Chain A
Amino acid sequence: MATLTWDTPEGRQEHRLGAETRIGRAPHNEVCLNDPSVSGFHAHIVLQHGTWILEDAGSTNGTFVNGDQASRRELRDGDGVGIGNVELVFRALDDTAGPTILWGKGMAEPPPPAEAPELESAVGAATSLDELFHGATDYSEVGVVDSGRLSTLIQPMAGGDPHQLARRLRASYEITRAAAATLDPSDILDRVLTALFGIFEQAERAFIVLVDPHTGEASTAAVKRRVSRKAADLPISRTALEHAMERREALLCCDAAADERFAAAQSIMQLGIRSMMIAPLVFRDQVLGAVHVDSVTGVREFTQHDLELLSVAATEVAGCLANVRLHEKVVDSERLAAVGQTLAGLTHCIKNILQGIKGGAYILDRGLEKNQLERVRAGWDMVRRNNAFMEELVQDLLTYSKDREPAYAEADVNTLCAEICELCGERARAKSVALAFEPDPQLAAAELDPKGIRRCLLNLVMNAVDACEGRDGGVTVATHAPGDDGLLRIAVRDTGCGMSQETLAKLFTVFFSTKGSKGTGLGLPVTKKIIEEHGGRLDVKSIEGEGTTFAICLPPERTADTQEGEGHGGVGQEGADRG
């Protein structure tokens, strides 16, 4: 059975939906709404394959579901349907499960209050909950809800009604799935509320209130509603929330607005809520907040079974939230450690450069004092070199710190390598290291960022030369046209000192350097990053005491991946045993 209910000055109207229900201002519509904002034939609801579909019939002012404009939408129980300015509530009721009203108008006695365990710590002042009242209600007027009447402590379900047990299991599963799907707290809350709406068909609004762990203040962290905005703007009961959190009890309130016993207290009645449940979010000894679910229209009320379900859900949610907070703490401390390490590495580099600049300036000054031109030159050279080093460091830091798209241009890789070999030739000769170039004549021009690849090559060749220093070794740069994997290859081979497994493992760690004060520890991380930005990869083979080969593997032209700005490259590390 499905119904539409709406309020008119004459009272609440209800219409039972047939196979097709037309809604509009004209009298022939099954649901006739006498409101100027409603079109003659505004929308209709049809039953298709067991689901109720709402379709706008080209109305002037539009059709809305839960506040969102909809031209065609499947309706779910409890959805708020907006026809022009008229708000209706859609109900698709399961006829088999009749709700159990725990306390309602005309019931003789509420069940006896359960013994609440004495808990020492209470939640902090929930002052910011005031905001939930939208200013309209005088809080002093909101009577304290008698916990004896309204609260019930959750006890293990007696009897074990299989229908309820299944529901409970499903609820637990749904909530766990929702809450465990992500580590983003707001996303978790949103998913939980969606799951709660799935579990509690009668729920029209759901709130999650969280207590700030630092200030102890409670505030709404997530809201979901499926009733018209007007009804959704009804405040929630601060008193009941505080009660639930302070006493760590789940609360159920049924048909409160109609209950004469609460009329004098102007409590929930004044808030206009007909049925509500609140469950505190408790993890270990900490109250993290509360979940509040209510029904403003009160077409169907919450039952004790529902409250049990909500309590189960609240336990799951509290566990997940606690987990997320712990995760955030860990991430924070890891981030701080990483920042600290980066700063320390950077400080070291800068201090060495400063040493060079300061030392150079001092030597220059002494040279001027003593009129020694040679010393002036030496000092000035030192300043200039360290200045260049500083520029290089800043450049490397910039390259490393942000994602950038390679500045593609057509380039001849063989020419590029020849240039680099020439550039490094002087340094190699100074260190008595042989430097050879073996170009592959088959290698055609490639599309790459010449400046970036130059930098990579310069880093690798300089490293190779340094590795050969004092070892009578040599460096060979060789190019290879694309092979089976479609990647062109530039290999930088040295017969230098090679690397230990320990060094290999830290190769791409920023600020890790085996060169003492001569290395910034940025060269290889930057090289790897530039190559990956090309959609390529950097291979390393090294045998300690024998030598190292780095191979830059690059797609010969821009790949679809790099065009989308997303590299798929990685670093292939092959151990010494395979080298």
Chain B
Amino acid sequence: MAESGKKVLIADDEADVHAFVQVALEDDGHQILDAVDGEAALEQVRAQAPDLIILDVQMPKKNGFEVFSELRGDDATKGIPVIMLTSVSARTGIPFGKRDMGDYFGSEPDAYIDKPIDPDTLRATVNKLLGIA
């Protein structure tokens, strides 16, 4: 198992997703950090300076959109690649996509992965954004 030295933060309130991401990315030797809500995610970003962030949309305290816009609004963090885990917003009932993000935040995540996450897609997307493989 080669150590890539890359830090990947997974922010999702579901422990199952953490376990899954950990296993899916373990062979690539990334260091996986985790956060269970939006505020914890931002703290981790500041403390650990991850190389890539995987953000779920529905999270307690701060949702994925809010976290994303704070990250892009801060010079220190705006360069970190972000993968957004998408599903459907239960609150508005509106499935959101790339266009909505662009419209609302003027900026878009580097990639979207729809839930349920396909492990191969996740691996390929992470490594591409990290410039590996």
Contact = CB atoms under 8 A, between A and B. Distances in A.
Contact of A517 (B56, B92, B93): B56
Nearest to B60: A516
A357 B16 CA distance: 9
A378 interface: yes
A213 B16 CA distance: 54
Given A386-B16, A516-B60, A518-B13, A348 B87 contact: yes
A375 B87 CA distance: 27
A359 B95 contact: no
A431 to B, nearest CB: 13
Nearest to A338: B93
Contacts of B87: 347-348, 351-352
B24 A362 contact: yes
B23 A375 contact: yes
Interface centre among B12, B19, B59 (most CB of A within 10 A): B19
Interface string A343-376: 1110111011011111110110010000000010
Contacts of B102: none
Interface residues of A, number: 35
B126 to A, nearest CB: 15
Contacts of A340: 93
Given A359-B116, A363-B19, A521 B90 contact: yes
A547 to B, nearest CB: 18
A341 interface: yes
Contact of B23 (A347, A355, A362): A362
Nearest to A353: B116
Interface centre among B14, B59, B87, B93 (most CB of A within 10 A): B93
Contacts, number: 87
A345 to B, nearest CB: 5
B26 to A, nearest CB: 8
A511 interface: yes
Given A355-B16, A359-B20, A363-B23, A513 B117 contact: no
Contacts of A282: none
Nearest to B91: A512
A363 B90 contact: no
Contacts of B119: 362
A355 B88 contact: no
A344 B16 contact: no
A360 B24 CA distance: 11
Given A340-B93, A345-B93, A359-B117, A351 B88 contact: yes
A354 B119 CA distance: 13
A355 B19 contact: no
A258 B89 CA distance: 73
Nearest to B36: A516
B90 A345 contact: yes
Interface in A301-353: 340-345, 347-349, 351-352
Interface string B1-20: 00000000000111011011
B115 interface: yes
Given A359-B117, A517-B58, A344 B88 contact: yes
Interface centre among B16, B58, B94, B114 (most CB of A within 10 A): B16
A316 to B, nearest CB: 40
A344 B115 contact: no
Interface in B53-101: 56, 58-60, 87-95
Nearest to B23: A363
Interface of B: 12-14, 16-17, 19-20, 23-24, 56, 58-60, 87-95, 114-117, 119
15 contacts: A347-B87, A351-B116, A352-B14, A355-B115, A355-B116, A356-B14, A358-B116, A359-B20, A359-B116, A360-B16, A362-B119, A366-B23, A386-B16, A512-B91, A515-B60
Interface of A: 340-345, 347-349, 351-352, 354-360, 362-363, 366, 375, 378, 382, 385-386, 511-518, 521
Closest 8 CB pairs of A and B: A359-B20, A341-B93, A344-B93, A355-B116, A354-B116, A516-B13, A358-B116, A348-B90
